[in-house]
A and B are shown apart, each in its own frame.
Chain A
Amino acid sequence: MHALSSYLILSALLFSLGLYTVITRKNAVAILMGIELILNAANVNFIAFSKFVTHHVEGHLMAVFIIMLAAAEAAVALAIILNLYNDHGNINVDEANALKR
């Protein structure tokens, strides 16, 4: 079988790529994609630990709740982003600067 480390490295990779996406992108939807990568990284961890460490489906339960929250968050975020688009004509986070810096 594959060791725990192969899963941990994968999740660290997903986490780092998500981080990179969030800090380099300007488009709000693209940033959300980065956030989804980070959440997936955490989920892989939870489920891998469930199998290798705890022998218990507790980690699966956490992943279920996280997926549910990710969906709620994505829906709310897109409603807000569409509103921003309706008045700015674009959704680049750094061009939204009516608020003083």
Chain B
Amino acid sequence: MGEVIFWVIWALVAVSAMVVAFSKNLVYSVFSLLATFIGVAGIYIFLNADFLAVTQIVIYVGGILVLLVFGIMLTNRIVVAKITQSSLQRTTGLVVVGAIFLVLVLTLLNQTWPLATSAAEFDSTVNNIGELLFGDYLILFEVASVLLLGALIGAATLARKEL
């Protein structure tokens, strides 16, 4: 059963990412990106990454995707209804990227990865992540807060009307 669900999610991610890449209509793209993000969260669950799965849903779906939808809404005149967008060099792009994909997969599969002897089954990662975040990674956590502050100030400055 788990096996079947895994491959269903796998296919969902693959197909929806293809729609994102190949769809001519930007609105289809952005909504299938939603499916991709949720599917990736599902993949995380199969990888025992419960915290990450929730984070993925909250931040990617709840934050980034909403931003992107707003971006599309605000920059296309909806009245004109036609939100399609043309794209350049589709065939060339397809050939180049297809070649890159093949090289990538062949290299990845031919590499002997330093696999651990038995796959880890984390009960719950939240505890471990929390301890590391306020241990070894504490400084990065603090730096990230300064970065977010800067991004906040900067984005607000660029977005406000006044010069």
Contacts and interface: CB of A to CB of B under 8 A. Distances in A.
A25 B108 contact: no
A74 B63 CA distance: 9
A65 B55 CA distance: 11
A19 B97 contact: yes
Given A4-B113, A16-B101, A76-B155, A85 B67 contact: no
A53 B155 contact: no
A65 B17 contact: no
B3 to A, nearest CB: 8
Nearest to B48: A51
A61 B137 CA distance: 8
How many of chain A's residues touch chain B, expressed as a range? 35 or more
Contacts of A29: 26, 30, 68, 71-72, 75
Nearest to B109: A5
Given A13-B101, A17-B18, A81-B75, 7 more contacts: A1-B119, A12-B104, A24-B89, A43-B56, A55-B116, A70-B64, A72-B148
21 contacts: A5-B109, A8-B109, A15-B104, A16-B100, A16-B101, A17-B18, A20-B21, A26-B87, A29-B68, A29-B71, A37-B17, A40-B37, A40-B60, A43-B40, A50-B47, A55-B116, A61-B132, A67-B52, A70-B64, A81-B75, A83-B158
